[in-house]
Structure 1
Amino acid sequence: NNLATCEYSSGLQVSGVFCDVLTDENKEPIYFKSKGPTALAFRNKELPGHGKDRHAEGFGAPIGRWRNVHAAPENLSKDQLHSIGIVDGRKATIGFESGVIVSGRVEKIVREGDKLLLITFSNCTVKRGDQVLFDPSWGEFDMAVGEKISSVFNGAADKDAFLEVALVPKERTIKAPSDARRKKLESLYQQVRDIRERKVGYERLGEIWETQQAQHPDDWLLSMEIFEILDEVAQQPELKGRVAKFLKQVALSNKDKQTLVDWGFRLVEYHKMPEYRAIHERASAH
């Protein structure tokens, strides 16, 4: 039941508790689902109208390229959308290369800068073969746009909005209280984040991991973050092997977790690829 965020290559961030990931025959993720309150953000700021109230029962979202379109979907211009029949107020069908088909009336198109993030449909059906992923009776379908998931991280993208920070008369902000055990786990995540960002203190990762294993054995996402750092800096191969072994055991214990853990390992490999590094360096330069 970890709160986590999946970030699309478009920059769209989906924060919630992820419960299911559909994959294709190559084990590539093509559709994911969250359960319970879910929020959408861009650059760690919640998108207006896309907080937990709108997505209180969870969120489902396709991933990947569209059929017969020769560009990543997030890069399509307004004219390009019109050329394939995606126009405000009109019925449209989008077929994904994965076999997912989205069909409904276009109500709203959301962009940030030159990136297409979301298309909202009414009277919408989402299917893959005979499997119904979204039914018109469930309300509007906010279709996330992005060729791939570029990162997954613990917690919400816009923490203040997700935790419903409240203003009190003295204008202090109060976050929703969490129990002491949860706070200790959040502290471990923060320590790992600090090590990643500051690029020092790698020798402490073993101690942090042992603490997580002893006190929070059900949490696996922190282990994935530690594994990714160790892989990136090519240090402590013995610890990296132990973390990998734990993650593989988690994957064997639960089908949903298996998909998410496999996805995590794939992201570690993706982050080594030159095209990801180029995107990351461009984003850091802005």
Structure 2
Amino acid sequence: MKKEKEIESSDAVYHVPVLRDEVIEQLHINPSGVYVDCTFGGGGHSRAILEKLGEEGKLVAFDQDADAKRNLPDDQRVLFVPHNFRHLQRFLRLNGISQVDGLLADLGVSSHQFDEGSRGFSTRFDAALDMRMDRRQEKTAADVVKGYGEQQLHKLFEQYGEVTNAKTLARTIVEKRKVSPIQTINDFKTAVSGVVKGNPNKYFAQVFQALRIEVNDEMGALKELLEQLPQVLKPGGRAAIITFHSIEDRLVKLFFKNNTFEEETENPFETTEKLRTLKPVNKKPIEASQDEIKKNPRSRSAKLRVAERT
């Protein structure tokens, strides 16, 4: 992931906020309201929210990655919570907040995490197979590669990475780890080099994405976040979620539409409309402009969906 531009008020390039202006526009910020940035990172989105807030406003910033804390602005209106956003409601209540006016989540990996070679997120470096966003947790990518059975590996590469030869890849890993331990990025790339299909960079990006999602239970965390929105948002409050791959986007789209993760079947005899507390604001996701994509290529795959609490 390239370092594209410097974040204001930050000593080093950390993360370029994607769709920043679109997020601010969609949140309809109330100057005296309470807002949550579920993925603080480099603080780009948070700073944009703070610019719209008055003295009475409040911003709650969540980030499970300890590195993010050094990007905090010196601002009394900011409350930092060093935990995963799946614990949203719990930590809001602990701080005397029952409902908020708006919420943002910019999912996936920050540019900083990709660029910090020792974290194990990027195939550009050799490092331990780590990939933990929260380094307080125990399970690493090496643990997944070492301990998961062939079926488990097949399923995660197929579902989370959409890897075309997921079954072959899983079998290869199981065979190779019997001969030699797979503990680093280079160990992994060497072990599976014989089954790489197509462009190696794209192939490993998909494989690493699958491992990262599994290590951090990203789908589980996203589901828990979405399920809390009807209770956490005030009536008229909005949630803006930015996704970077189809698996996340499908979950967000489905929950915003149905307020459940179950696909609804059309019943021609049912005329009563089901009561939903969340309604999508935009039928189609908002995507980055060509200008933004040129400045920040990472924004190419970004999709912003917004829902409003009724």
Structure showing the higher strand proportion among its residues: 1
Instruction: Select the structure with the greater relative contact order (CA < 8 A; seq sep ≥ 6).
Output: 2
Structure showing the higher helix proportion among its residues: 2
